[in-house]
Amino acid sequence: MPFEDEIQRAAEILAASQHAVALTGAGHSTPSGVPDFRSPGSGLWEQVDPMVVASIYGFQHNPQAFYDWIRPLAKQMMEARPNPAHTALADLERIGVLKAVITQNIDELHHKAGSQRVLELHGSVRSATCTACGHKVPSHELWPAFVASGEVPHCPACSGLLKPDVVLFGELLPMDVLLEAEQETERCDVMLVTGSSLEVYPAAGLPMRARQHGAEVILVNYQPTVMDTQAAVVIHEDVAVILPQIAARVRELKGST
């Protein structure tokens, strides 16, 4: 079996941990049909300038361009279902091994898979907020009509412009979530990093911060990352293939069902 030794080693580290956390990036959701941002040929930034369509400045000056860009992505996220990698992390939390999932993703798939403690560094598409009056609109009242029509959504209370509750370029991360993620990073004894290129900060700095506090790092990602030389285990393979195998081994070692 490919990566047999690495999978076993990762499972042993997780099973022996006292406070393991996961950090997930866009590659965690690509097996669910949600595209990532930087993969050659398929990444979301291949055809557009993110500072034009996905920055707060671009949104404020041309919301139609933003919504034209996000419309196919919104459809993909509406239709996406958790893949085996999401389920594996939820299983690890259920048996008490994983204490939190820190994610860069906005697609809600960790929640849909059953993970209870999810720290969404970049917000989520769960809701949108009116830029005029602050009224919040849940996604099930927003995305289906928008995907069908392509019309820029407006607030049902005051007709102001609705902005999805995701972090755009030029915006600060939600400070309460970032603080909690940093606390988990400093507290953990193992950080499982999956599907992240570790190129977008501040999330990209969390594994090194965990390592500096004495934690072991496990990396599962198709492409090499800057943390490969610092990690206890590195597996360059599909997260949806590897993580279920790691979780199954952990359950065996812990005697969990």
Q: What is the DSSP string of the chain?
A: -TTHHHHHHHHHHHHH-SSEEEEE-GGGTGGGT---SSSTTT-TTSSS-HHHHSBHHHHHH-HHHHHHHHHHHHHHHHH----HHHHHHHHHHHTTSEEEEEE---S-HHHHHT-S-EEETTEEEEEEEETTT--EEEGGGTHHHHHHH-PPPB-TTT-PBEEEEEPPBTSPPPHHHHHHHHHHHHH-SEEEEES--S-STTGGGHHHHHHHTT-EEEEE-SS--TTGGG-SEEE-S-HHHHHHHHHHHHHHHHT--
- What integer pLDDT is reported at residue 140 of this predicted model? 85
Instruction: Say which of 28, 110, 111, 122 is annotated catalytic.
Output: 122
Q: What is the mean pLDDT of residues 184-209?
A: 94
Q: Indicate the pTM of the whole model.
A: 0.91
CATH number at residue 215: 3.40.50.1220
122 catalytically annotated: yes
pLDDT tens-digit profile of 107-131? 999 999 999 999 999 999 889 999 9
Residues 237 and 150 in one domain: no
- pLDDT attached to residue 53: 76
For residues 111 and 190, state if they share a domain. yes
pLDDT above 70 covers a percentage of the chain that reads 93
Residues 19 and 75 in one domain: no
153, two tokens: 């959504």
One domain, residues 68 and 97? no
What pLDDT is recorded for position 42? 43
Question: Could you list the residue range(s) of the whole structural domain that residue 28 is in?
Answer: 1-34+82-122+172-257
- Is the pLDDT at 44 greater than 60? The verdict is no
In this predicted structure, what is the pLDDT of residue 43? 46
116 and 192 belong to one structural domain: yes
- 20-24, 177-181, 253-257 — which is least confidently predicted? 253-257
